[in-house]
Amino acid sequence: MRAAIFNGPGKIDLEDRPKPVVKDPTDAVVRVVLACVCGSDLWWYRGISDLAHGTVGHEFIGVVDEVGDAVQDLAVGDFVIAPFSWSDGTCRNCRAGFHTACDHGGFFGQGGQDDGGQAEYVRVPQAAGTLVKVPGDDLSDDVMADLLALTDVMSTGYHAAVSAGVTEGMTVAVVGDGAVGLSGVLSAKLLGAARVIVLGSTHEDRHALAREWGADEIITVRGDEAVAALKDLTDGNGADAVLECVGTKDSTETCFAIAAAGAIVGRVGVPHDVTIDGEATFFRNIGMRGGPAPARHYQPQLMRAVLDGEIHPGKVFDLVTDLDHIADAYAAMDERRAIKALIKISER
């Protein structure tokens, strides 16, 4: 089969690999229909973080091609959504709703010899606890894109909003207007935010989607200027909840600085060189939560919202291409020519 392979910073190549098969009785093999490229893939694509040579991609939806003997409730031919990590669904951490810390879990597409989602087939460990079956046969391209967004980006934006404790009537700040930040805007509105303020880039295409999804104001300055601008917009109080959707030292500091007393910073941007001041946060009761999103935990309810037409998270994809052009997709996202790239791999 064909698979995208990481051959060093800036180098993504399409290579032939053996088609995966069921190894453990709890495995399934999925034929990938749609995949995408994640903002977090850019960390190692840009050489900022390390990744072993090998397979990549952790976002995919597809059709079950083979199932192990121990996998109940899934059959060949089922159309499924995968979260970006596998999980047994039964350990203490899964039962607590934190599937990304599963005792028998792992993450797709981390280089090396394991399977990644930017490929024709993927072996899925712990398939019964991991894959979410999609009901119905007649799904439009738009709905398919919406479902693809649930594999990571929308679930991650939703986790930011849940972690930040967004409830009805709040003024919510979203730091970052990449695909995750935009999904955070949609999620904050879904959870009842009365007002959403985005701290983002100067990219007009991102602003347009942010506004379509419910952003009321967009702040494009950075650092102290951004903090002052947000305080001006909130009578000096700061935001009732803050979504950290970037992960840098600067963005994290901004999040804590714009949080109102008692607010929680919901973090989903993978942190790089981040430490948090234990004293400044304490005296105003500023909290933090978050981490790798338990996408599997949110997928059933978000899938229902997609199938009911309540949300359209797939709008975050503004570049559609195929596996032959996967390298172009990375380049377009790296150069910020695209918010997020959808990769068509096979027909359902």
Amino acid code (one letter) for 185: V
Structure tokens at 48: 């900022």
Can you tell me the distance from the alpha carbon of 199 to that of 227, in angstroms, rounded to the nearest whole number? Answer: 9
Binding string, residues 252-271; x marks residues near its own copies by CB under 8 A: x-------xxx-x--x--xx
Tokens 């027909």 — which residue? 347
According to the binding rule CB under 8 A, does residue 184 interact with its own copies? no
Q: From the list 100, 126, 251, 299, which residue makes contact with its own copies (rule: CB under 8 A)?
A: 100
Is 30 within 8 Å of 60 (Cβ atoms)? yes
- Which window, 16-24, 109-117, 149-157, 276-284, contacts its own copies (CB under 8 A)? 276-284
Positive or negative torsion for Cα 121, 126, 128, 132:
negative
Q: From the list 26, 130, 163, 183, which residue makes contact with its own copies (rule: CB under 8 A)?
A: 163
In the complex, the smallest distance separating the C-beta of residue 262 from its own copies, rounded to whole angstroms, is 4
Amino acid code (one letter) for 275: T
Q: From the list 16, 50, 138, 235, which residue makes contact with its own copies (rule: CB under 8 A)?
A: 235
Q: From the list 278, 308, 335, 347, which residue makes contact with its own copies (rule: CB under 8 A)?
A: 278
Is 265 within 8 Å of 287 (Cβ atoms)? yes
Structure tokens at 137: 């046969």
Report the 10 Å Cβ neighbour count for 41. Answer: 25
In the complex, the smallest distance separating the C-beta of residue 164 from its own copies, rounded to whole angstroms, is 10
Q: From the list 55, 85, 87, 93, which residue makes contact with its own copies (rule: CB under 8 A)?
A: 93
Q: Is 109 exposed, middle or buried (0-12, 13-18, 19+ CB in 10 A)?
A: buried
According to the binding rule CB under 8 A, does residue 191 interact with its own copies? no
Q: From the list 42, 274, 307, 320, which residue makes contact with its own copies (rule: CB under 8 A)?
A: 274
Nearest residue to 187 (alpha-carbon basis) of 216, 167, 206: 167
According to the binding rule CB under 8 A, does residue 50 interact with its own copies? no
Q: Which residues bind its own copies (CB under 8 A)?
A: 92-93, 96-98, 100-101, 163, 235, 237, 240, 252, 260-262, 264, 267, 270-272, 274-279, 281-292, 294
